[in-house]
Amino acid sequence: MFIDFKLDNLENFPKELETLLNRHKETIDNIAKNATSYQDGIKITEDLNEELDRFFTPLSHLNSVNNSEATQKAYEESIPLLSSFSSYISQHQELYEKIKSLKPNNELEQRVLDLEIRDFKLSGAELGKEDKKELESINLELSQLSNNFSQNLLNATNDFELIVEPKDVDGMPQSEIEPAKVEIDGETKYRFTLQMPSYIAYLTYGPNREIREKLYRAYNTRAPQNQEVIDKLLELKLKKANLLGYKSYAEYALQTRDASGEEEVLSFLNELLDSSIPQAKEEIAQLKAFAKKLDGIEDLAPYDTAYYSQKLKKELFDFDDSQTKPYFEQNAVLNGMLKLTGELFDVEFKKAEAPTWHESVKVYDIAQNGKTFARIYFDLEARESKRGGAWMHNWQSHYIDAKGKEQLASAFVVANFSPASKEQPSLLRHDDVVTLFHEMGHAIHHLFSKVPERNISGIEGVSWDVVEFPSQFLENFAYEASILKEFGYHYQSKEPIPQDLLDKIKDSKNFQAALFILRQVEFSLFDFQLHQKLYKGEEVNKLINQIRQKTALLKVPDYVRFEHGFAHIFAGGYAAGYYSYKWAEVFSADAFFECLKDGKFNKTRAKEYKENILEKGSSKEMSELYKEWLGRRPQPSALLKLYGIDK
């Protein structure tokens, strides 16, 4: 059933982990030599994976939610053990040969084997000795270069500051100028930097246009030495792809994605682009007219858009979090969300008594037709020992183990909502409500799985360009008036949330939506095309400028070198993958409109979504699962509809 959350001997943890990993190595060696079937080979490794996750997850989880010196120490000592174990496995040639020789008994086993073999191949298992060595040195150099890229960017970001006079912060919100306040020679001045919160604060609220331009110029000319890093990165990525038998890095990257070909990605992005342009032009015209009326601006520039957009938004909606907060009391929201999820998918949430890591954690068992099949933990309030943000962490996975026994899934949903105080209960911003639905979407993707093979069950093995599909799907419900009305009651007066607030929630979400899509498409096209062939030096900048001819509705100054700061693709894991944001979003929008018609649930569709998508894990590529469900691909037009662009 479910295991208890308990971790009482942190000091001994790394030692115990080492013992466990050594035992796993022995078992793996034994499988590599002696396995004769899927059952006594792969199936055993699934049990090992599950055992390791069950053992290690409580520590990594605790280190994030109840951080202490003891958790840090145990965690830091464990990481090198884990990484050396994983490279032991991925370079286990004998294991690879064994896996290739095993015969699957059904489609699911075939899928598990296919994914295993694919990953071995991509880490070089088919290469000769010399090529393997070369791949290893490329990988090492790539990670050093990524590191240089971020370091250069960080240094350049920290090197800049701009001190401005009190008159230059006139009219800015107190919360934005307070952190900028400095005393210089007994006088009060304001210091702005290129750190995100500071930069965004001035670009959004700063009244002095010249200062906005100065900051914008500094930001967009950071780290020119990254051009050299980019050149080397692109060259090595292409070399790596070639070594593994692919003609470009884009082709190599797509091997582990849901999107099946380069053409498919490009035409998807171009379709989104073309259908957003008409509305984006209207949005920019509206903004230009507004800036002209307000300040006589004739030549609206990129460093003006955040400033005037914020003012325009205020004029149009006059809406902020403080208005909705009293209507979203944490318990009411959580109960409302569980009720919705229960109704949509025909399951029941029952409060469970189980050990946890903090008194505020709530535990529920999930049942269908009286049979309990999963467990979920909610840890929603901020506290000092918890890292920021919100996330879902899977713990146990659903599958049938080597002894033929069904194992059940469990997961943690973590957030940082403001805690209750003496004066008032925990109240959520509307954004928080969206966040909770989002993480719940990830959680049920993992928990509703019925797949018997662990490596492709729940969120295991899901291609990362579709991982955000089920989370964004559920998130969409958090903007619907009919849903919000279910739990939106004033925490004191018990009055239901007024209709005009519900309207504002939706309308302000759609504000400048087409311009936002254009920007995301610009980044995606640039990233993807950049990895389709080799670009060098100035060609990189030429490429983005050429894309901007379509995507940028305001002239971008010649000095802008956005690419020198594009850490997502040059220092993060997003190379040839930035398109994923939109890719997953189209799935989520399309599925959403199937399940909700005119503010009403289509329960038949929701049930099908559960059976065809959520229960299937990664037993097939998402596009295939989707096709089996609706007989078609998700339509980009659904995304436009979601943002109110289809008029």
**x/- binding map, residues 421-460, to Zn ion, per CB under 5 A?**
----------------------------------------
Nearer to Zn ion, 471 or 520 (CB): 471
Cα radius of gyration rounded to whole Å, the chain: 26
In this structure, the dihedral spanned by the alpha carbons of residues 232, 235, 238 and 243, taken in order and rounded to 10 degrees, is -90
Min CB(637)–Zn ion separation in Å = 24
Nearer to Zn ion, 317 or 581 (CB): 581
Min CB(332)–Zn ion separation in Å = 24
Size of interface with Zn ion, in residues (CB under 5 A): 1
Given the residues 116, 176, 439, 460, the one annotated as active site? 439
DSSP category for residue 344:
H
Distance CA 577, CA 612 (A): 26
- Environment class of residue 484 by beta-carbon count within 10 Å: exposed (0-12), middle (13-18) or buried (19+)? buried
Taking contact as CB under 5 A, which single stretch among the options 96-104, 466-474, 495-503, 581-589 is the one that binds Zn ion? 466-474
CB 300, CB 308: distance < 8 Å? yes
Q: What is the number of other CB atoms lying within 10 angstroms of the CB of residue 509?
A: 14
Min CB(527)–Zn ion separation in Å = 20
Active site residue 538: no
Min CB(471)–Zn ion separation in Å = 4
Q: Does 471 bind Zn ion (CB under 5 A)?
A: yes
Nearer to Zn ion, 124 or 634 (CB): 634
Nearer to Zn ion, 276 or 394 (CB): 394
Tokens of 128: 């000769």
Residue (of 342, 419, 427, 329) closest to 376 by Cα position: 342
For every residue of 56-94, DSSP letters joined together read HHHHHHHHHHS--HHHHHHHHHHHHHHHHHHHHHHT-HH
Nearer to Zn ion, 60 or 541 (CB): 60
Min CB(369)–Zn ion separation in Å = 30
Min CB(441)–Zn ion separation in Å = 8
CB 628, CB 612: distance < 8 Å? yes
Taking contact as CB under 5 A, which single stretch among the options 7-15, 38-46, 470-478, 555-563 is the one that binds Zn ion? 470-478
Q: What is the number of other CB atoms lying within 10 angstroms of the CB of residue 542?
A: 11
Min CB(445)–Zn ion separation in Å = 10
**DSSP-derived 3-state class of residue 364:** strand
- β-strand pairing of 399-400 with 406-407: antiparallel
Exposure class string for 557-577: b at 16+ Cβ within 10 A, else e? eeebbbbbbbbebbbeebbbb
Q: How far apart are the first and last CA of the chain?
A: 51
Taking contact as CB under 5 A, which single stretch among the options 61-69, 74-82, 397-405, 467-475 is the one that binds Zn ion? 467-475
Q: What is the number of other CB atoms lying within 10 angstroms of the CB of residue 5?
A: 19
The residue of the chain with the least Cβ separation from Zn ion equals: 471
Q: Which of residues 47-66 bind Zn ion (CB under 5 A)?
A: none
Taking contact as CB under 5 A, which single stretch among the options 46-54, 429-437, 469-477, 488-496 is the one that binds Zn ion? 469-477
Nearer to Zn ion, 471 or 524 (CB): 471
Longest dimension (CA), the chain: 80
CB 319, CB 504: distance < 8 Å? yes
**x/- binding map, residues 79-108, to Zn ion, per CB under 5 A?**
------------------------------
CB 477, CB 269: distance < 8 Å? no
Order of all β-strands in the sheet with 371-381: 348-351, 362-368, 371-381, 409-417, 391-394
Taking contact as CB under 5 A, which single stretch among the options 58-66, 148-156, 164-172, 465-473 is the one that binds Zn ion? 465-473
Min CB(343)–Zn ion separation in Å = 23
DSSP category for residue 423:
S
Taking contact as CB under 5 A, which single stretch among the options 73-81, 382-390, 468-476, 534-542 is the one that binds Zn ion? 468-476
CB 64, CB 386: distance < 8 Å? yes
Min CB(197)–Zn ion separation in Å = 22
Cα–Cα distance list, 76 to 81, 83, 143, 391 (Å): 10, 12, 20, 21
Cβ-Cβ contacts under 8 Å for 352 (sequence gap 6 or more): 363, 364, 365, 375
Specify the residue for token string 């890591």: 357
Nearer to Zn ion, 466 or 640 (CB): 466
Nearer to Zn ion, 104 or 572 (CB): 572
Distance CA 551, CA 276 (A): 10
Tokens of 261: 């070909």
Q: What is the number of other CB atoms lying within 10 angstroms of the CB of residue 289?
A: 12
Min CB(65)–Zn ion separation in Å = 17
Nearer to Zn ion, 21 or 337 (CB): 337
Nearer to Zn ion, 276 or 471 (CB): 471
Q: Does 397 bind Zn ion (CB under 5 A)?
A: no
Min CB(462)–Zn ion separation in Å = 12
CB 215, CB 192: distance < 8 Å? yes
Nearer to Zn ion, 379 or 453 (CB): 379
Residue (of 528, 571, 523, 561) closest to 225 by Cα position: 561
Applying CB under 5 A, which residues contact Zn ion? 471
Residues with a catalytic annotation lie at: 439
